[in-house]
Amino acid sequence: MMPFIDLATQRERLKDKLDTTISKIISEGRYVLGPEVGELEERLAAFGQVDHALTCANGTDALSLPLLAWELQPGDAVFVPSFTFAATAEVVALLGATPVFVDIDPDTYCMCPKSLAKAIAWTKSQTELKLRVVIAVDLFGQPADYPAISAICKAEGLKLIADSAQGFGCTLNGKHPAAWADISSISFYPAKPLGCYGDGGAVVTRDPNLAGLIKSLRNHGEGEARYSYERIGLNSRLDTLQAGILLAKLDIFSEEITARNTAAQAYAKGFGDVVKTPKVIDGGVSVWAQYTIEVDDRDTFRSKLNEAGVPTAIYYPVPIHLQDPYAGFPVAPGGLPVTETASPRVVSLPMDSYLEGERQETVIRAVRAALT
């Protein structure tokens, strides 16, 4: 069976650099918030076209930190898609606030601005709920419709988070999500397009005040003086080893994004005539965290691919609003028909920066054989 995500080829490519970095960091002994962390933050800010980047322990904390900075509380409504990883809604519920679930666009799988507008109108009629934040997700690595979503946020006085856990590096009309969003939240989980060798996360933002608050919050709410605290925070720091590993990977990240786009084009050319392939928003460049297609009989399709030695995965089999812990939270008026239609049909194929040649041909042949 071929790998679903090939991390080994990249590891081999960067072996010397990674080995040198890792042994340097271990021998220097500054394991938490060492110099590589600051260097990585500068490089991430430059890559994301903003002035401020702060690393943290994982992509989930990267979502919690701005919500803590904005002092989210019970009664606050946060608009989130349901077709996403649990963390997007989890961070809201964990703070005692209310996730309001919004439908997605059927082509891009990202938040639908029309459904968002309907959800906002309904929430305004609920006296116990206050409009606070929208979390748009760059699902599967492609940018959400930020021009439309940020216009709604501005008109309604809502903060906007780009949950770019899967999407760091994606652009829309040449700009990164943080050009529209108040903040962009990133995950460096190993399988992500820019992944480390453990857990890791970061935020990037144009807003110096928000960056200052998050710098304090990620380290227990510390103040200027050591062991003085200005707020209640978290222990959410990136360790120096992960920062060193990410610095090595960031050097080749642009090249890898191009390779992922080449692989996505080869898939579309290879089987776009027999199955629904993903469509990126006009002007958008995806980083292809996942390559997701839609089929009628998913179980049969998956077992045929499995027999051909091609692994597949389902992102996501059950939308969040239909899972027990989230079933009591509101959904946009009219429900989430696009989300509920997509989830039994979607299936993701192998995708990474080193997908080419015979390995990709094998996937294309298997998809065609299973569907024709």
Ligand X SMILES: Cc1ncc(COP(=O)(O)O)c(C=O)c1O
- Min dist. Cβ of residue 62 to ligand X (A): 7
- Min dist. Cβ of residue 321 to ligand X (A): 15
Residue placing its CB nearer to ligand X in the complex, 83 or 271: 83
The C-alpha atoms of residue 50 and residue 63 are separated, in whole angstroms, by 18
**Residue 171 β-bridge partners:** 285
- Residue pair 351/119 in contact (Cβ under 8 Å)? The answer is no
- Min dist. Cβ of residue 48 to ligand X (A): 17
Contact positions vs ligand X (CB under 6 A)? 58-60, 84-85, 87-88, 137, 163, 165-166, 187, 189, 199, 201
Q: Which of 77, 371, 303, 40 minimizes the C-alpha distance to 186?
A: 40
Query: Helix (H, G, I), strand (E, B), or coil: what is residue 335?
Result: coil
Residue placing its CB nearer to ligand X in the complex, 253 or 315: 315
Tell me the two tokens of residue 255: 């090249």
Residue placing its CB nearer to ligand X in the complex, 131 or 144: 144
Residue placing its CB nearer to ligand X in the complex, 55 or 60: 60
Residue placing its CB nearer to ligand X in the complex, 165 or 351: 165
Return the residue matching tokens 């994301």.
48
- Residue pair 96/73 in contact (Cβ under 8 Å)? The answer is yes
Residue placing its CB nearer to ligand X in the complex, 4 or 122: 4
- Residue pair 239/92 in contact (Cβ under 8 Å)? The answer is no
- Min dist. Cβ of residue 316 to ligand X (A): 9
CA angle (38, 256, 286) in 5-degree steps? 95
Residue placing its CB nearer to ligand X in the complex, 165 or 347: 165
The C-alpha atoms of residue 315 and residue 83 are separated, in whole angstroms, by 8
Residue placing its CB nearer to ligand X in the complex, 163 or 360: 163
- Min dist. Cβ of residue 272 to ligand X (A): 25
Q: Which of 187, 252, 237, 243 minimizes the C-alpha distance to 22?
A: 243
Residue placing its CB nearer to ligand X in the complex, 36 or 163: 163
- Min dist. Cβ of residue 311 to ligand X (A): 18
- Min dist. Cβ of residue 58 to ligand X (A): 4
Tell me the two tokens of residue 86: 């649990």
Backbone angles phi, psi at 250, to 5 degrees: -65, -30
The C-alpha atoms of residue 171 and residue 372 are separated, in whole angstroms, by 35
Residue placing its CB nearer to ligand X in the complex, 85 or 329: 85
Which letter does DSSP use for residue 134 in this model? E
- Min dist. Cβ of residue 41 to ligand X (A): 17
Query: Helix (H, G, I), strand (E, B), or coil: what is residue 35?
Result: helix
Tell me the two tokens of residue 290: 């996942």
- Min dist. Cβ of residue 170 to ligand X (A): 12
The 10 Å Cβ neighbour count of residue 35 is: 13
Tell me the two tokens of residue 64: 């919690």
When CB distances to ligand X are compared, the closest residue is 59
- Min dist. Cβ of residue 166 to ligand X (A): 5
The C-alpha atoms of residue 103 and residue 126 are separated, in whole angstroms, by 19
Residues with Cβ < 8 Å from 118, sequence gap 6 or more? Answer: 332, 333, 334
